[in-house]
């Protein structure tokens, strides 16, 4: 089949945009790319040097704000948007909701549940990254900072505590005065997390309340070692109701396709 013929076939089935950058985005793409009744395009922001690539079609990079996203959705004839971005990625979700509402496109928000505190956890809840930095930057404190790369600069004025910083790629931003960097990509197993916290005599773990299994072992390890966790609460993300799992997102997608997509 020539290129034009292929394009025609691809436009005869609904085109689903999965906003990803998460384990759920990868799982969704794997499930949807195996189907012949739709075309799946995953979108990644391009923050990680060598991202795990989802199955199916993939595009990488920001859209250029709300206007850019609106143009992309129209140009690519997207039929449905599934927002499977990280619970802390609030801007892209807001733009996606607004763009879908303006274009009358169905929107499925997938938001994994937050972690909840068990009796043995010692958590200090904070509303944002700055509050976490202000809380832990105490002389002689040894802090495990596992919040990704993008907001590390918020710790750049910290001069008192020592920080073990974990990231996937080497951070380019300004960092706290006393630190060591470990480059690792999850998922992380519990034994290694226990070892890491013990080896560096960690007093505090700073974590976003990301939810999910891939990075939960650091929370378990902190609990087992009696180490307090400074838990950064989630920002507001979806204004529309969302689903909590890949399975539910696929059900919601199928409901939407039955309602909105006719041959």
* DSSP run (H or E) holding 64: none
CB of 234 to ligand NAP, least distance (A): 10
Q: How far is CA 18 from CA 71, 178, 248, 257, in A?
A: 16, 39, 14, 15
246 interacts with ligand NAP by CB under 6 A: no
Q: In the complex, what is the shortest distance from the CB of residue 186 to ligand NAP, in angstroms, rounded to a whole number? A: 10
Residues 123-162 that bind ligand NAP (CB under 6 A): 148, 150
Q: For residue 223, give the nearest of 242, 199, 211, 205 by alpha carbon.
A: 205
Q: Give least dist CB 120 to ligand NAP, A.
A: 26
> According to the binding rule CB under 6 A, does residue 91 interact with ligand NAP?
yes
Cα→Cα distances 223→121, 219, 228, 233, Å = 5, 6, 8, 18
Q: Which helix (H) or strand (E) holds 82?
A: strand 80-83
Q: How many CB atoms lie within 10 A of CB 196?
A: 19
- Give min distance, CB of 60 to ligand NAP, in A: 8
Q: Which residue matches tokens 């790319």?
A: 33
Q: Which is nearer to ligand NAP, 92 or 161 (CB)?
A: 92
Considering only the stretches 14-22, 101-109, 188-196, 221-229, report the one whose residues sit in contact with ligand NAP under the rule CB under 6 A. 14-22
What minimum distance in Å lies between the beta carbon of 43 and ligand NAP? 4
d(CA 182, CA 186): 12
The answer to whether 43 contacts ligand NAP (rule: CB under 6 A) is yes
DSSP state of 175: -
What is the binding site for ligand NAP (CB under 6 A)?
Answer: 19-22, 43-45, 47, 62-65, 68-69, 85-86, 88-92, 95, 148, 150, 208
């Amino acid at each position: 089949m020539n290129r034009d013929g292929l394009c025609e076939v691809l436009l005869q089935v609904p085109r689903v945009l999965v906003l990803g950058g998460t384990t759920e985005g990868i799982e969704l793409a794997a499930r949807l790319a195996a189907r012949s009744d739709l075309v799946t395009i995953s979108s990644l922001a391009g923050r990680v040097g060598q991202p795990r690539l989802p199955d199916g079609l993939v595009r990488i990079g920001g859209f250029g704000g709300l206007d850019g996203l609106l143009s992309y959705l129209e140009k690519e004839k997207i039929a449905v948007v599934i927002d499977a971005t990280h619970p802390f990625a609030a801007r892209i979700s807001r733009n996606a909701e607004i763009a879908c509402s303006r274009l009358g496109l169905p929107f499925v928000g997938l938001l994994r549940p937050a972690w909840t505190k068990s009796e043995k956890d010692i958590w200090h809840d904070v509303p944002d990254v700055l509050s976490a930095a202000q809380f832990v930057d105490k002389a002689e404190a040894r802090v495990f900072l596992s919040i990704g790369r993008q907001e590390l600069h918020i710790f750049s004025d910290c001069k008192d505590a020592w920080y073990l910083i974990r990231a996937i790629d080497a951070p380019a931003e300004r960092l706290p005065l006393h630190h060591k960097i470990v480059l690792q990509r999850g998922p992380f197993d519990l034994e290694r997390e226990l070892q890491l916290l013990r080896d560096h005599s960690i007093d505090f773990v700073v974590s976003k309340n990301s939810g999910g299994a891939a990075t939960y072992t650091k929370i378990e390890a902190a609990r087992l070692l009696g180490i307090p966790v400074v838990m950064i609460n989630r920002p507001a993300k979806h204004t529309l109701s969302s689903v909590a799992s890949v399975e539910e997102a696929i059900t919601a997608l199928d409901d939407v396709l039955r309602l909105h997509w006719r041959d």
